[in-house]
Amino acid sequence: MDCMNKKICMIGFGEMGKRHAKDMDEFSEGSIEVAGVFDPDDRSYEIGCEWTGKRPRRFDTIKSMIDTISPDGVIIASPNSLHLSCLREFNGLNIPIILEKPLDTDMAKVVEIVRFVENYQAPVMVHHVMRYSPIVIKAKELLDAGELGELCSFVMVQNGGGGMFHNFRRTFKTGGGQLLEKATHDFDVLLFLAGAYPRRVAAICKRQYYGGIKPDTLRCRECNENQTCPHVVIKPSSANDTVSRNDLCVFSREIDIFDNETCVIELDNGIFGTYSECFFSNAPFTRRYEFSGKEGFLSIDFSAGTLLLKSIKRGIQTFEFDYNQRIHYNGAPGVTRHFYDLMSNHNLKVHSPVKDAFIAELISFAAYKANSEKRFVDIAELVTPDLKKTLA
């Protein structure tokens, strides 16, 4: 960091907002100060203060916060469905922004975000934090060096628990679905590593476990089954948790997103492969990518923190990574450094731009369309004429 301190504002101080605030303070060594917070939820604000150990000034509106603080940068970490409305508060301004992923929850609003950013003066980076993680950076280095020869195919797998089904992400309206909410990270990394854009997608998506007949407002702490339910979440989020979540019942009526999904994806350079995710597996959390080329094979095991390379050039090599008990594979320090640089120089190229996030999310929207219509969906079908250039 250079010698100039920066003031930032947070829009949303909940699950991810408090993490952003803590990361910015820790990894900038105090060079970035969270000077203001907008979050209408009292409990969210209090938990954020507890979690970060600081009590930034709280505002009733985004406009009053911006007018009062005149920040060097802003982080939008509101619930997914509010991203567009929050971003519109910056119309005509010149303030660098980190926008949490996904861009929003439905295609129409995502398109409006892309259009907004095209005309916005300051840089906007999307929080695709995995791009900044050392394990992904090393994988990109190996692939770009041609260690696998001509890249041909990939297999991507993610198995996890039901945390997303406890909170606002459990409906398409407020979360957008797991392929948009969760797999967007994976699709972004896929396109980043492969150096290509998606061409067409097919998918099978089902809800096989979560959802049911419980009331939508039922919380674990109020449920008469909380002594036996394997999905119970009683303890409120605190500074000691590692993966914060809310405690809405995972068997509620309103749950309409899928919990088991598989996509077949072809990229525009001929590479193809699969992505699968399941959120009710009893297996430990797993995230693993495998890439096959004509001269080698690369396994990226995020859960184990290892890269395994087997190539004609190098033979067999293993690279190990320590995440220092941080989520997103220790990518936050890189995000912090890059955002600081963008606040210092608005002309710098954004490493995780809105355009790339949009294209990654097109895979999600195409997958849901493909699942509904039982066919391959060309990505170009989804893109409005004025945004066709984003696929070039």
pLDDT, position 241:
39
Split at pLDDT 50, 70, 90, the class of 362 is very high
Quick check: 299 pLDDT over 60? yes
Query: What does the DSSP assignment read for 280-303?
Result: S-SSPPEEEEEEEETTEEEEEETT
Per-residue model confidence as pLDDT tens digits over 226-261? 889 988 887 554 444 333 357 899 999 999 999 999
Candidate CATH numbers 3.90.550.10, 3.30.360.10, 3.40.190.10, 3.20.20.70; the one for domain 131-210+255-326+354-391 = 3.30.360.10
Per-residue model confidence as pLDDT tens digits over 175-188? 899 999 999 999 99
pLDDT, position 242:
35
Break the chain into its structural domains and give their ranges.
6-128+339-344, 131-210+255-326+354-391
Split at pLDDT 50, 70, 90, the class of 221 is confident
Query: What does the DSSP assignment read for 41-92?
Result: -HHHHHHHHHHHT---EEESSHHHHHHHH--SEEEE-S-GGGHHHHHGGGTT
Lowest-confidence pick of 147-161, 336-350, 378-392: 378-392
% of the chain residues with pLDDT over 70: 96
- CA-closest candidate to residue 315, choices 155, 154, 147: 147
pLDDT, position 1:
55
Asked whether this chain's domains 6-128+339-344 and 131-210+255-326+354-391 adopt the same fold, the reply is no
Quick check: 384 pLDDT over 60? yes
* 86, 75 Cβ separation under 8 angstroms: no
Assigned CATH class of 6-128+339-344:
alpha beta
Quick check: 100 pLDDT over 60? yes
pLDDT, position 3:
61
